[in-house]
Chains A and B, each alone.
Chain A
Amino acid sequence: MIGGMDAQSLISISLMKIHNSRTQRGGIKLHKNLLVSYVLRNARQVYIKEKYAEIYRMQQYEEVMTVCNEIQELNPLDLDAEEADEEERSRGEESSVCGAALQRGAAQPAALCRTGSAVSGCCPLEDVGKDPEPSYYRSCCMEAPPAAPCDPFTGSGGAHCNKTTVLDLDTHVVTTVENGFLHQDCCCAPTGQSAAKKRKVEFGCCVSDLDDVPDFTRKRAKREDCSFSDYTDTSNISNLISIFGSGFSGLLSRQADLEQICSKQALASLGAWTRAIVAF
């Protein structure tokens, strides 16, 4: 938070300014839009860094959970004790090996554990028949496993190609540039039972399955879009995001070492996309 405003708020305010500038008298002011795009870039860099940090913490949490699982498998005698602990945890109380392991990690994973999302890791397939709180699923989905490198999106996103249209004021040439993958629709928070169940099974079965990962991160991107579209008109923001051409989902990386490469790619493309706005 800087001066009472966080990166997300700045992003939405900046996008609104760019949107409003289109209808301003006297035409689009190149200078002002360029400066706004710089603020947008800076805010997005901070936002992405925060997300990376969160993902990294999640990764640590995941690794700890994996260790938990392995420990459980090796010690079947502790299963009853674990189940009891899980029940407690789902009621919002922390305990047991998993809880302890999590506490060793960052505070955030511990908090996540408390919300019940840890449960799925500890006992992957046993709760299929259960009907937990909707909030559980929401957090479960939010803590999606990190995506594979950005490329799979372009591969699978043929039908959702994203375009940036640039009008050269000198030559009057309109250029449409296609890139990346971004859902235009801004979805509401998932509430459907079937959707929840589907998500749960996928999460339990195949944490590192690349096919499912884009699905999670896409949904996560949708939710992120929703969170700051509360600030303003949903359709305006989703349209503007499509203008930018690369969503936050495109910037998630599974491994820390890929993080560097991805972030550089992402930030390089960010620069291009943010400046594309100027040409409007």
Chain B
Amino acid sequence: MYVFEEERKSYLKADIISTVEFNSSGELLATGDKGGRVVVFQREQESKSQPQRRGEYNVYSTFQSHEPEFDYLKSLEIEEKINKIKWLPQQNAAYFLLSTNDKTVKLWKISERDKRPEGYNLKDEDGRIRDPSTITSLRVPVLQPMDLMVEATARRVFSNAHTYHINSISVNSDLQTFISTDDLRVNLWNLEITDRSFNIVDIKPANMEELTEVITSAEFHPQQCHTFAYSSSKGSIRLCDMRQAALCDKHCKYFEEPEDPSTRSFFSEIISSISDVKFSHNGRYLMTRDYLTVKVWDLQMENKPLETYQVHDYLRGKLCSLYENDCIFDKFECVWNGSDSVIMTGSYNNFFRMFDRNTKRDVTLEASRENSKPRAILKPRKVCVGGKRRKDEISVDSLDFSKKILHTTWHPHENIIAVAATNNLYIFQDKVN
């Protein structure tokens, strides 16, 4: 009985979704999980005969991207968990994506096959090699139609470049290079070359005892191929220009908001650590997520954010218990909608929040099977912070901290969002009248 429980637990754990990402057209949605698998969903073509099935997403391809490995030199296990997936823009019939675990980045080609060659000379129909002495005539193999098969092949493996755990990857707008980032370094790769990478940021101190901050995320500018930004555990963001120097240790912009001394606590350093950084689609803004807030920064203003949104400020008084149960280390992501007018991020109890930057309105929604049937409209949720709890409100103490939404993604053009709630993926679309 005990063994059964253990196995079940590990089975479920491997199913926990660790990343979600739409491709640049929104046609495909990829998810990575703790078991090292990638599942790609494809949007159905909208058909006139079934207008209510307004382009649903179905499984398109599933493959094992990373396997658990063991580093014998350091005597440690390398987890197969997929930390990040990034799509390359489509250039031909095949789709390409980068997936990474803690140590290795892989380029996958996902392609369709609906024909297969038949009539080989040296192989028979079952694939067995024929004895050359039995071949008396030659024929040209022909392509015969077959059932559609989607296959994923690893085209490149970018390995052995990171001593610390990779936390992010980002494809450059030049479509030739990408960066991979670990706790202390950012490496620049060419998509064609796997045995060499350039280190462009290195914040490792000469003496590790003097370490004060680590890199938490990095991203290329959406249009400027020479610009990238990286966030730190101290709550700052640095913008770097690769044209300035080979090693971008000197930033050209430094974004940081001074700490409010009145809110100082034991956990100030933890809650100010940035867990995600995203450029807006128009390239004019940066968005950062720390434990309690989302901030939008204007690239032209370094000393303070343009906007600050409180995600779940009611947790400020619970930091001690959140520290005890490790929830305070959760890394929430944030995402822009296609027009950069709305931002979204996750919270606990399977809640996720959207903030409209123009109207300044915000909404809390819940991703759960119990509360939403297919095609049902999501009801806004509210957390009661004190005083009398109204009906339909949920009190802070009732929040389930094991149900967290860390990963979300927004369709590049439409109002379709994908939300990962532990081992479940929810896809929500705008209401159709």
Interface residue ranges, A against B (CB under 8 Å): 2-5, 7, 10, 13, 17, 25-27, 29-32, 34-35, 38-39, 42-43, 46, 164, 166, 168-170, 172, 177, 272-273, 275-276, 278-279
- Distance in angstroms from A82 CB to nearest chain B CB is 47
Closest 8 CB pairs of A and B: A3-B320, A38-B269, A26-B79, A27-B76, A279-B208, A5-B320, A30-B183, A42-B266
What is the chain A residue whose CB lies nearest that of B215?
A31
B218 at the interface (CB under 8 A from A): no
- A25 proximity list for chain B (CB < 8 A): 77, 79
**Separation of A275 and B84 alpha carbons in the complex (Å):** 28
Q: Per-position contact with A for B241-270: 1 when CB-CB < 8 Å, else 0?
A: 000000000000000000000000111111
Q: A39-B269, A43-B266 are in contact. List 20 more A-B contacts (CB 8 A).
A: A5-B320, A10-B320, A26-B76, A27-B78, A29-B165, A30-B184, A30-B214, A31-B167, A31-B214, A34-B213, A34-B214, A35-B233, A38-B269, A39-B267, A42-B268, A169-B164, A273-B209, A275-B208, A278-B208, A279-B209
- Distance in angstroms from B307 CB to nearest chain A CB is 26
- B213 proximity list for chain A (CB < 8 A): 34
Q: Is the CB of B74 within 8 A of A4?
A: no
- B127 proximity list for chain A (CB < 8 A): none
Q: Is the CB of B266 within 8 A of A2?
A: yes
Known: A26-B78, A27-B74, A275-B208. A4 touches B320 (CB 8 A): yes
Q: Is the CB of A13 within 8 A of B210?
A: no
Q: Is the CB of B211 within 8 A of A34?
A: yes
- Distance in angstroms from A227 CB to nearest chain B CB is 19
- A4 proximity list for chain B (CB < 8 A): 320-321
B115 at the interface (CB under 8 A from A): no
B99 at the interface (CB under 8 A from A): no
Q: Is the CB of B270 within 8 A of A35?
A: yes
B51 at the interface (CB under 8 A from A): no
Q: Is the CB of A2 within 8 A of B320?
A: yes
- A31 proximity list for chain B (CB < 8 A): 165, 167, 183, 214, 216, 233, 273
Of B71, B208, B216, chain A has the most CB atoms within 10 Å of the CB of: B208
- B318 proximity list for chain A (CB < 8 A): 3
Q: Is the CB of B214 within 8 A of A272?
A: no
**Separation of A164 and B71 alpha carbons in the complex (Å):** 25
